[in-house]
Amino acid sequence: MRICTNGSVSAKASSPACDTRESRRGDAGGCASDRSTPLTWFRDMVPHCLEYARTAKEQGHPIVCIMCEFTPRELIMAAGAVPVCMCGGSAETIPAAERDLPANLCPLIKSTYGYHVLRTNPFLEMADLVVAETTCDGKKKMYELMAQSRPMYVLELPHNPDSIEALGFWEQQIRRFKRELERRFEVCITDDLLRKAIAVMNRERRLRRALAAAMEADGPPLTGRQLADLRSCISGIACDLRQYEQVLQWLGPRRENGLTDRVRVLLTGVPIAHGAERVLDIVEGCGGLVVSMENCTGIKPILDDVDEHAADPLAALAQKYFHIPCAVMSRNDRRVEALRRLVGRYRPQCVIDLVWQACLTYDVESARIRRLAEEEFGLPYLQIETDYSPSDSARIGMRIEALFETARARAGGSTTEFSRRGDNLACGGPSPRQSVYDGGGT
Ligand code: SF4
Ligand code: SF4
């Protein structure tokens, strides 16, 4: 293991994996993406990420698979490694998972575990480390099984987001994780490297927030599905960031010239892994427009940035990540605060709360979200509990159509009423902890 001193940069960590694809191509002007539009670029997101990860691995950069937004990608990047989201979105791997796991378990967990059993997730197969976290019970126990045959590190997440002691414990977990990455990958994670990684991730968060802000318009220029597709399972890839910038340029003159005849939907609840967008597609296929997706694949993890200039970057990381408003936290008041702001900004006409089957934390929290939507926002609310099987698609479609009938009837066919209501919420609603998001995105 190398001796680590502040300011000394280890050779491995000083070659950020983020630039490997560009450097291999020797294309100073950018990437192969220059030949495609951003939407087609992200349609091929998985092959691009695979090429990126393979190249990085060939060049000696470790691959680290993660499954939760509480895991600070910045630390992994500062260690010269590549953080890859390994969340499974396929129903096809679930039968294999059910050989070990109960059928009555969240499909996201089963799908991910199924890839592990079948060895069909190429990122996981090249992973030097899997980072787990103590969030929900299903994931914790699944990780124990996975750890029998894969190198794994577990971040212990305390669950009271308002406790100073819990934050202190989490900060110690972050410091311990840094030491483990240094030991395992024989690198030094200096404050300088960490700040660079934080700056990259902040840039990505800013760009994604700016893209999300396009949906504030009365006639958004994108569908919710198109916006959801603008993401990558590897964060911080320079080509992806340039693609985000291109989309923003493209959106510039089109911000108010889009879809005005849809029912505006705020989609909250569980994360929607790549490949598991069925409910999102049904919502939009029924005449809805998901103007805001308050979940871990949408705006939730990018609401706040990490302080790039903090004297102690590890403490800054701990502070940001500990306050992600996930339902595993108790109390999870920050989710309510986030929803208030999102309703103010995006003026939805209804709230749809997606819960994966057997996800107890989000399922139980639904009662609070329903009351918030119906009583405080005055919006019709629908909880959809489902899994990755398409067998209930028709039934879900019928329930969404009924919800939209109610939303249209309340709006009298106009979005103006909602715009006014949104303004009131934005101005007169409770004003909790300031978020970077309050500053207007970028
Ligand atoms: S919903 Fe919670 S447990 Fe799931 S990825 Fe997000 S932060 Fe992690
Ligand atoms: S959706 Fe719920 S049950 Fe599934 S991994 Fe996330 S928190 Fe756990």
Phi/psi of residue 335, nearest 5 degrees:
-65, -40
E strand or H helix at 25, and its extent? helix 20-25
In a domain, 233, yes or no: yes
- In short, whether 271's Cβ falls inside 6 Å of ligand 1 is yes
285 and 366, same domain (yes or no): yes
Atom of ligand 2 nearest to the CA of 108: 4
Q: How many Å apart are CA 23 and CA 306, to the nearest integer? A: 28
314 and 223 housed in the same domain: yes
Q: Is residue 50 part of a domain?
A: yes
- State the distance between the two ends of the chain, measured CA to CA, in whole angstroms: 40
Domain that holds residue 132: 17-196
Best mutation site among 105, 106, 295 for ligand 2 pocket (most ligand atoms within 8 Å of CB): 106
- Residue whose Cα lies nearest atom 5 of ligand 1: it is 68
Same domain, yes or no: 333 and 276: yes
122 and 265 part of one domain: no
How many Å apart are CA 26 and CA 32, to the nearest integer? Answer: 11
Q: How far is the CA of 68 from the centre of ligand 2 (A)?
A: 10
Q: Is the CB of 69 under 6 A from ligand 1?
A: yes
Distances (CA, A) of 200 to 25, 78, 421: 21, 11, 36
Cβ proximity of 103 and 168 under 8 Å: no
User: In angstroms, what is the span from residue 24 Cα to ligand 1's centroid?
Assistant: 34
Taking the centre of ligand 1 as the mean of its atom positions, its distance from the CA of residue 410, in whole angstroms, is: 33
Do residues 151 and 251 both lie within one domain? no
Q: Is the CB of 284 under 6 A from ligand 1?
A: no
CATH number at residue 84: 3.40.50.11890
CA of 75 to the centre of ligand 1 (A): 18
* Residue 5 within any structural domain of the chain: no
CATH for 257: 3.40.50.11900
210 and 187 in one domain?
A: no
Q: Whose CA is nearest to atom 3 of ligand 2?
A: 359
User: What are the pLDDT tens digits along the chain (442 aa)?
Assistant: 333 433 332 334 433 333 333 333 223 234 554 557 878 899 999 999 999 999 999 999 999 999 999 999 999 999 999 999 999 999 999 999 999 999 999 999 999 999 999 999 999 999 999 999 999 999 999 999 999 999 999 999 999 999 999 999 999 999 999 999 999 999 999 999 999 999 999 999 999 999 999 999 999 999 999 999 999 999 999 999 999 999 999 888 777 778 899 999 999 999 999 999 999 999 999 999 999 999 999 999 999 999 999 999 999 999 999 999 999 999 999 999 999 999 999 999 999 999 999 999 999 999 999 999 999 999 999 999 999 999 999 999 999 999 999 999 998 855 444 444 444 333 323 232 222 222 233 2
Residue 435 lies in a domain: no
Shared-domain flag, residues 248 and 390: yes
CA-nearest residue for atom 6, ligand 1, is 296
| 45 inside domain | yes
Let me know whether 256 and 146 are in one domain.
no
Same domain, 293 and 405: yes
Domain's final residue, options 196, 217, 250: 196
CA distance 205 to 281: 24
Tell me if 2 is assigned to some domain.
no
Q: Which two tokens stand for residue 148?
A: 């029998």
Q: Take atom 6 of ligand 2 and give the residue whose Cα is closest.
A: 270
User: Residue 293's beta-bridge partner residues?
Assistant: 267
- Is residue 441 situated within a structural domain? no
Tell the residue nearest (CA) to atom 1 of ligand 2: 270
Of 168, 196, 224, the last residue of a domain is 196
224 and 124 in a common domain = no
Give, in order, the Cα–Cα distances in Å from 247 to each of 250, 253, 275: 5, 11, 22
Element (H, E) at 386: strand 381-386
How many whole angstroms separate alpha carbon 105 and alpha carbon 139?
A: 10
> Do the domain assignments include residue 222?
yes
Residue 130 bridge partners (DSSP): 65, 152
pLDDT in tens, 110-124: 999 999 999 999 999
Query: Which of 70, 85, 139, 296 for mutating ligand 2's site (highest number of atoms within 8 Å of CB)?
Result: 139
Q: Identity (one letter) of the amino acid at 85? A: C
Per-residue H/E/C for 65-110: EECCCCCCHHHHHHCCCEEEECCCCCCCCHHHHCCCCCCCCCHHHH
Structural domain total, the chain: 2
Q: Which of 402, 331, 423 is nearest to 368 (CA)?
A: 331
Q: How far apart are CA 421 and CA 410, in angstroms?
A: 12
Residues 348 and 370 in one domain: yes
Residue where a domain terminates, one of 196, 213, 228: 196
Q: pTM score > 0.85 for this model?
A: yes
Out of 66, 70, 300, mutate this one to test ligand 1's pocket (max ligand atoms within 8 Å of CB): namely 70
DSSP string over 175-241: HHHHHHHHHHHT----HHHHHHHHHHHHHHHHHHHHHHHGGGSSS-SS-HHHHHHS--SBTT-HHHH
Instruction: Answer yes or no: do 254 and 170 share one domain.
Output: no
Ligand nearest to the CA of 131: 1
